[in-house]
Amino acid sequence: MNLSKLETSIDRTILQRGQNYTQFVDSLEETEPEFWQAYVEGSDTYDVEVQLDGDKVTDWSCTCPYDHGPVCKHVVAVLLNIRNQQQQHAVSPAPVAKTPGKREQLEQLLTTLKREELEDYIRQLLHDNRNLLDKFLLRFQRTVPNGENLAKQYQQQFNNLARQYSRHGFIDYDDASGFADEVQELLDTLSVSASSPADTADACFAIADGIAGIANNIDDSNGELGDLMYGVKDVLAKAYPQLPSTGQSRLFLQVLAAHFDERYADYGLEDVFADLLETWATDNSGYQETYLQALDQRIRTSADWRRDGLLRQKLALLKTWGKEAELETIAAAHMDIPDFRETFVQRAIDAKDFAKARQLVQEGIRLAEQQKQPGIVQRWHARLLEMAYQLDDKPAIRHELEWLFQNKHFQLEHYRQLKATYPADEWLDIRQRLYAMIPEPRGYDSTRACLLEEDNDLPALYELITKTPDIPVQSHALFKKYAPLLSTAFPQEITVAYASQICDYLEGNTGRHAYEQVIRELKTLAAIPNGKNMTANLVADFRHRYKTRKAMLEMFAKAFGNG
């Protein structure tokens, strides 16, 4: 996304909302080179950050709860303000002295403040803020050691934060980000601590235990806990190489126990431990055996749905560590799991034994059908298609493509691949058979239209989109999509039909949103052949017919002039 092309990079609705919010952007500042921060006032005050690389927007964040798309209206408002500010500077006739940013002001102050002034301020700042005092002491404990167990200190600090942000024992959505930010500060403090690597690791586990303990009492819609666990991983990864071999073994066993701790697994937080274990065990055969034994123990005692996941995890580890004999044994014992069967399918293909590979896949299809796993069935048919292409087996290619077309939502990709396997004089009959596979309900009209467009069958496409609609909204969307294409072959018919739809819509809808929609439709109509005159006639007719709709008349004047 580029600043100069925001209008073509952002959804139109979000762009319009962002434009309406530009006046609510406050404290916009380039706090570091090409890093901008601002507050945006909405139903709450939201903190927005934007990272640039020249004209390119490389990263952005906002503390609002919007999660329906890549960018929210608050970020858009900030981007528009940044662009406006940059454009003003670019056209300024004389250089303007830049006001130092807050971080620059801080650096200047720190070089001029007297030590006693800074000390007095720190004492004052920490006097009534026990939480901040605790964090300060943890950060600089190397200066004033208190003899208390480091892990216990971090556990207490975590618990204090949890109590501070909890309401009736629960951290709600609005407080989750603030809580997570403060816990991340704890991890950052631990990361730069002068404590021993062993103490650092123990303190890190104290925080991890706290995260697992609170997981059921926090609205984690934004995945804050997962991010914190990756922060835990980073601290542990940094501490591990600094430990002696006995300390590394102890830490490995701690992480292994945590990896299979139900408190983490129940919330999907155990993956970070798996990453550490695999990394540390890759160069240590003893760790590999310990890890695999622990996996086997858990596999024997787990429910089926979790057992399959653990078996896949073991298979991946055996592949990574090159344990081919064990891999073959476990794969052969669990051929009901597709990933395991795939091992033997690929081995047969590598050996050019396609008959064996096909047999294995067909058995996999039968198993998946019995277990009612349509996604797995589709996966195996796609595998058969790959093999058919490798063998240049045209009948098999056509058979699998037809199956996939019929069973994977009539995708255009499979239709095109099938078409490529037939000469033109044969394709018409095949096309009719494929078309007949599509269910009759009108909900599939968009699929039919897509195929007709692919074959440039404009008469059939015109007939389809002008049928009496059973689903008005969907039918209108289909008409709008294909009207420009069809207007070349049916200019008069399309303009009349389009005009009729606009009239019907305006007759039953009022309000600014409806009028904006009508204006967009009229401009689309004007752009197609024979549509300009029709649009002018409609605008004149609407002005006369709906002369009491003042808002509509004002919007029409702005869009089409006062004619």
> Tens-of-pLDDT digits for all 563 residues of the chain?
888 888 888 888 888 888 989 999 988 988 888 899 999 988 788 889 999 998 899 988 888 877 667 889 999 999 999 999 888 877 665 555 566 667 777 788 888 888 888 888 888 888 877 777 877 777 666 444 555 688 888 898 899 889 989 888 899 888 888 899 889 988 988 888 778 899 999 999 999 999 999 998 999 888 889 899 999 999 999 999 999 999 999 999 999 999 988 888 777 788 889 999 999 999 899 999 999 999 999 998 888 778 888 898 999 999 999 998 898 898 898 898 898 899 899 999 999 999 999 999 999 999 999 999 999 999 999 999 999 999 999 999 999 999 999 999 999 999 999 999 999 999 999 999 999 999 887 678 889 999 999 999 999 999 988 875 554 556 778 888 898 899 989 999 999 989 998 998 999 899 989 999 999 999 989 988 889 999 999 999 999 999 999 999 999 999 999 86
Question: In terms of domains, do 176 and 79 share one?
Answer: no
For residue 66, what are the contacts with CB-CB under 8 A and spacing of at least 6? 72, 73, 74
Amino acid identity of residue 551, one-letter, is A
Question: In terms of domains, do 162 and 52 share one?
Answer: no
Structure tokens, 229: 């666990």
Question: In terms of domains, do 167 and 254 share one?
Answer: yes
**Of 281, 314, 342, the domain-final residue:** 281
Nearest to 234 by CA among 208, 264, 196, 260: 208
Q: How far apart are CA 252 and CA 92, in angstroms?
A: 61
Contacts by 165-170, CB closer than 8 A, 24 or more apart: 166/217, 169/217, 170/217, 170/218, 170/219
**Of 281, 312, 328, the domain-final residue:** 281
Q: For residue 199, is it within any domain?
A: yes
Residue 79: predicted pLDDT: 94
Q: For residue 50, is it within any domain?
A: yes
Question: In terms of domains, do 159 and 246 share one?
Answer: yes
Residue 45: predicted pLDDT: 85
Q: For residue 39, is it within any domain?
A: yes
Question: In terms of domains, do 89 and 13 share one?
Answer: yes
Q: For residue 456, is it within any domain?
A: no
Q: How far apart are CA 35 and CA 46, in angstroms?
A: 17
Query: What number of helices (H) and strands (E) belong to the chain?
Result: 29, 4
Q: For residue 437, is it within any domain?
A: no
Provide, for the chain, the percentages of residues in helix, strand and coil under a 3-state DSSP scheme, each rounded to the nearest 5.
Answer: 70, 5, 25
Q: For residue 534, is it within any domain?
A: yes
Q: CA angle, corner 30, sides to 28 and 33, nearest 5?
A: 165
The helix-helix angle for 424-437 and 445-454 (nearest 10°) equals 170
208: burial class by Cβ within 10 Å (0-12, 13-18, 19+)?
buried
Q: Where are the alpha helices (DSSP H) in 335-411?
A: 338-350, 354-370, 374-391, 394-407
Q: How far apart are CA 92 and CA 87, in angstroms?
A: 9
Contacts by 386-391, CB closer than 8 A, 24 or more apart: 387/349, 387/354, 387/357, 387/358, 387/361, 390/349, 390/354, 391/354
Nearest to 311 by CA among 324, 320, 302, 321: 302
Length of the chain: 563
Q: For residue 205, is it within any domain?
A: yes
Nearest to 315 by CA among 281, 351, 342, 285: 342
Question: In terms of domains, do 77 and 159 share one?
Answer: no
Question: In terms of domains, do 81 and 162 share one?
Answer: no
Question: In terms of domains, do 163 and 272 share one?
Answer: yes
Query: Distances from the Cα of 393 to the Cαs of 384, 390, 421, 431, in angstroms?
Result: 11, 8, 11, 21
Number of domains in the chain: 3
Residue 469: predicted pLDDT: 55
Coil, strand or helix at 561: coil
What one-character DSSP code corresponds to residue 57? E
Q: 85 and 28 in contact (C-beta within 8 Å)?
A: yes
DSSP string of 374-396, one letter each residue: HHHHHHHHHHHHHHHHHHT-HHH
Structure tokens, 82: 């940044």
Residue 268: predicted pLDDT: 78
Q: 239 and 233 in contact (C-beta within 8 Å)?
A: no
Q: What are phi and psi of 40, to 5 degrees?
A: -125, 125
Give the rounded distance of the alpha carbon of 82 from its chain centre. 25
Question: In terms of domains, do 186 and 261 share one?
Answer: yes
Q: How far apart are CA 513 and CA 16, in angstroms?
A: 12
Question: In terms of domains, do 160 and 274 share one?
Answer: yes
Range of the domain at 8: 3-93
Burial 502-513 (b: 16+ CB within 10 A, else e): beeebeeeeeee
The helix-helix angle for 445-454 and 458-465 (nearest 10°) equals 160
Question: In terms of domains, do 159 and 262 share one?
Answer: yes
Relative to beta strand 56-62, strand 25-32 is unpaired
**Of 93, 118, 141, the domain-final residue:** 93
Query: Distances from the Cα of 94 to the Cαs of 88, 90, 99, 434, in angstroms?
Result: 11, 10, 15, 69
Q: How far apart are CA 140 and CA 71, in angstroms?
A: 39
52: which strand partners?
57
Q: For residue 143, is it within any domain?
A: no
Residue 242: predicted pLDDT: 95
Q: What are phi and psi of 27, to 5 degrees?
A: 60, 35
Residue 143: predicted pLDDT: 41
Query: Distances from the Cα of 2 to the Cαs of 68, 258, 442, in angstroms?
Result: 21, 44, 40
Nearest to 225 by CA among 206, 238, 208: 208
341: burial class by Cβ within 10 Å (0-12, 13-18, 19+)?
buried
Question: In terms of domains, do 270 and 175 share one?
Answer: yes
Checking phi first, is residue 396 left (phi over 0); if not, alpha (psi -120 to 50) or beta? alpha
